[in-house]
Structure formats: C-alpha cells, structure tokens
Amino acid sequence: MPLAHFDGALAVVTGAGNGIGRAIALRLAESGASVVAADIDLPAAERTVTLAKTLGAGGTAYQVDVADRAAMETFAAEVKEAHRVPDIVVNNAGIAVAGSFLDTGVEDWENILGVNLWGVIHGCRLFGGQMRDRVNALPNKPDKPNFGGHIVNIASAAAFSPWRAMPAYCTTKAAVLMLSECLRAELAGSRIGVTAVCPGFVSTDLVDHGTFVEGDDATTERLRTRGQKAIKLRNYPPEKVAERVVHAIIKNKPVVPVNFEGHLLHTLSRVSPASLRLLARIPARG
C-alpha cells in the first residue's frame, strides 16, 4: 500500500545537502516527516536540517559517503539505533562524468559507479532489509495490513536513452532504473514500494561538479559553460522534482519521468528506440 500520510514518518535522504536532495528533504519535512539528511558535505546537510526545522519537522544531519560500504552500514545502523527503521528512503546522491567511453578511465568509472550505482545498492540493501524485517516481525491484521515503507531511487531521463557524450552516466542511471524495477517486484509482498524517478534537465550544480574526461582545460571549461547555460535556460527547479517524488510515494508509482524531456525520452524508448540511437550519435561539441 502507498504511504498516504507523512505525519510522524521518518525519511532518509542521501545527497540532501543541495539540489534535488535538499528539495526532497524539505518537501517531506513540509508534509510532516522527520528527515535524516545525509551528504558527504556535512555542513550542507546541516543547513538542510536547519531549513527543515523551520517547517515544523524534526531532522538530523549525517555525513556519509554512499560509495563506502562500511560507512553506509554504519550509517544505517546508527539511524536505526538513534531513531528507528525509516518509513521512506530516497537514494538521491549522484555525480556526473561526461566524455566518450574510450576516454573515460577506470578511476572515473569507479567513481561514478561507486556513487550512482553502489550508493543506491547500499541504500536499498541496508534500509530495504530493515523495512522487510520490520514487516516480518509484526503480526499482520487483515483489516489493517502492515505498511513496510517506500524506497525512491533517483535515476534520470538518461536511463531511457543512450548518448555517446555521457556513456558512464547513462549506464549508471539505466542500472538504477532496472534495479528499482527488480526490487519493486521482490519487495511487493512485504508491502514496500519502490519507485525510480527520472528527471531531465534540472537546475542543480551537477554540471558544476561534474568530471569532463575529454580535451584540455579550455575545452572542459567550454563544455561546462555550455552545460550550465543549457540548465539555466531550461530553468526547471528541483522543487518540482520533489513534488513528483511525494506524489509517487503516495500513489506507489513504479517509474516517474519528470519534465518534458523525461517524458519524451521515456516515450521514445518504448515506441521508437531507433530514433534514440540516432540521437545518441550527436557529439558534445566544445
């Protein structure tokens, strides 16, 4: 069953220090949830919690590297001990690597796989396990079945479409989408919902902090500037993504494309994958 009421809920959000993660944390707090804001940047997570508390909800900040298995295991255990098993988990933390496949080094692959995929795997495995165990430990009443929780994984419209300019990013987001679909099927019997949210261009600092693996410094700066201008021109605020996340939890949606390009790529991936293969050939020009 979907979680229709957030009052008293405990929500864990990774990458909550800024951008989409902060917007989701604040939207959940505004809806009555107590928020555990996790980020590799602790001061940023603390600022999110400060803002959440102005909305009337409780909150706690944690510093954690989602790519670090041991750190995530410690984090999940601390959340359970200091609070309880969360009702909502949003695996949002992510990074970007741009450049051709043959120019993307092993270290770049390890970095983006660590955050974008392993971070989601750790969050799903650890908190999903806690949610399932909570359901199994309680007697199930036919008139009031146990609600297990809800996991939201932030993928991307890039999960629907290949692109020669961002093979590493597209690969990780496609993997997050498939992981979410598989996990949804597995946890349905425990009344735990799983949603993959797939935004297109959103006004965040993803490009600012992204890694560009092709060309010299001047080329990298030109590509970064172009990306920043495109995002500014698109002008899609992270708060709108947060609204879709809350709606997805309430309605227990499996896959949620966000904004025009998200819906377009999702549709094309089903009705005309050949057109996406043609679009994938477009290079990112400096």
Q: Which residue has the tokens 């990013």?
A: 169
What are 22-48's pLDDT values in tens digits?
A: 999 999 999 999 999 999 999 999 999
10 has a pLDDT exceeding 80: yes
pLDDT of residue 233: 75
- pLDDT band at residue 1 under the 50/70/90 scheme: very low
pLDDT, tens only, 238-255: 999 999 999 999 999 999
What does the pLDDT look like over 95-151, one tens digit per residue?
A: 999 999 999 999 999 999 999 999 999 999 999 999 999 999 987 665 555 579 999
Q: What are the angstrom distances between the C-alpha of 137 and each of 2, 73, 87, 133?
A: 20, 21, 15, 6
**Res 226: pLDDT:** 72
**The token pair that represents 270 in the structure block:** 């089903």
pTM attached to this predicted model: 0.92
CATH class of this structure's domain 10-92+120-138+147-200+238-277: alpha beta
Give the pair of three-digit tokens for residue 51.
């803002």
In this prediction, residue 219 carries a pLDDT of 62
User: Active-site residue among 118, 147, 160, 169?
Assistant: 169
* Domain range annotation of the chain: 10-92+120-138+147-200+238-277
Confidence (pLDDT) at 2: 45
Q: Is 62 a catalytic residue?
A: no
Contact 89, 119 (CB under 8 A): no
From its phi and psi, is residue 130 left (phi > 0), alpha (psi between -120 and 50) or beta? Answer: alpha
pLDDT given for residue 232 in this prediction = 74
- Closest by CA to 135, choosing from 116, 148, 144, is 148
pLDDT at 52: 96
What does the pLDDT look like over 196-250, one tens digit per residue?
999 998 988 887 788 888 766 766 677 677 767 777 777 799 999 999 999 999 9
Q: Please state, as a whole number, how many other Cβ atoms lie within 10 Å of the Cβ of residue 275.
A: 12
